[in-house]
Amino acid sequence: MEPAVKPEQLELLPAVDVRAGQAVRLVHGESGTETSYGDPLQAALTWQRAGAAWLHLVDLDAAFGTGDNREHIGEVVRAMEIRVELSGGIRDDASLAAALATGCTRVNLGTAALESPEWVARVIAEHGDRIAVGLDVRGTTLRGRGWTRDGGDLFETLERLDREGCARYVVTDINKDGTLQGPNLELLRKVCAATDRPVVASGGVSSLEDLRALAGLVPEGVEGAIVGKALYAGAFTLQEALAVVAGAGAGGAA
Ligand SMILES: O=C(O)c1ccccc1N[C@@H]1O[C@H](COP(=O)(O)O)[C@@H](O)[C@H]1O
């Protein structure tokens, strides 16, 4: 596989997580902690209008095994003129085909990477960089099935996926997710040191200062940052965030 070209600046991926047809944010990814932010299409359009180049879109019901939001997800992807990273419940040929058929730019596999390694190796070989793997961790233990089950060691799994040609990782620190406590920079540095593949950081972003810190990790391999709660809670606007990462330049924190 060709090495990915390192971006000059941190990509921002505002998140729209869909549960029971609503855009929601969770705390630590725990079912039952939802705060609702209304129609997912309106949320996605808000981020698109504000200048996002990417949308991180999650079908939370599919991830938890409590149904799915396929109609809402399809509607959102169709309305986007920007790139979409789609995740949640993509675990077999049928769900992968349906996800790719939405027109999303890439999909993010979580549970399948832990439970179905042979299938994941095959779809990585077939679809290349349309497949990313979500490494959702507590400490350095991976979690699957709606983050309710342990799924092995982060670094052993990373080594296997690297060997199989995985193009990119989305690394979520579950302890930080939805908490506005700041990203786990140490974890991100360790993952970047263990792989030459680009890493999208997820979990904990709370301030523009956090984004500057993540922009400082671009030279180490952090390609992007998923921003959820901070945007919905109004900690900063997406325009402010985009200005900060543009100002941070070629990976250097401003
Ligand atoms: O994003 C969340 O808050 C979240 C919470 C709990 C479970 C999953 C969550 N999101 C993403 O869903 C996929 C995993 O889905 P699956 O295991 O492949 O079905 C992964 O990208 C998570 O980051």
Distance between CA atoms of 237 and 244, rounded to whole angstroms?
11
Distance between CA atoms of 211 and 102, rounded to whole angstroms?
30
- Tell me the pLDDT tens digit for each residue of 194-242: 999 999 999 999 999 999 999 999 999 999 999 999 999 999 999 999 9
ipTM reported for the complex surpasses 0.90: yes
* pLDDT surpassing 90 at residue 248: no
Q: What is the chain's mean pLDDT, rounded?
A: 95
Global pTM value: 0.95
User: Of 19, 74, 17, nearest to 47 (Cα)?
Assistant: 17
- Tell me the pLDDT tens digit for each residue of 42-91: 999 999 999 999 999 999 999 999 999 999 999 999 999 999 999 999 99
Q: Which atom of ligand 1 is nearest to the CA of 110?
A: 18
Ligand 1 lined by 95 (C-beta under 6 Å): no
Q: How far is CA 48 from the centre of its chain?
A: 17
- Tell me the pLDDT tens digit for each residue of 157-200: 999 999 999 999 999 999 999 999 999 999 999 999 999 999 99
User: Of 132, 126, 125, 69, nearest to 105 (Cα)?
Assistant: 132
Ligand 1 lined by 200 (C-beta under 6 Å): no
Ligand 1 lined by 133 (C-beta under 6 Å): no
Q: Which residues are catalytic?
A: 17, 136
Q: Are strands 106-109 and 131-138 parallel, antiparallel or unpaired?
A: parallel
Tell me, what's the pLDDT at 254?
Answer: 39
Ligand 1 lined by 146 (C-beta under 6 Å): yes
Residue of 17, 66, 70, 147 to test ligand 1 pocket, by largest number of atoms within 8 Å of CB? 147
Detail the DSSP E strand segments found in the chain. 11-19, 22-25, 35-36, 54-59, 83-87, 106-109, 131-138, 141-144, 149-153, 169-173, 199-202, 222-227
Q: Can you give the three-state secondary structure of 108-148, one letter per residue?
A: EECHHHHHCHHHHHHHHHHHHHHEEEEEEEECCEEEECCCC
Residue of 36, 70, 87, 143 to test ligand 1 pocket, by largest number of atoms within 8 Å of CB? 87
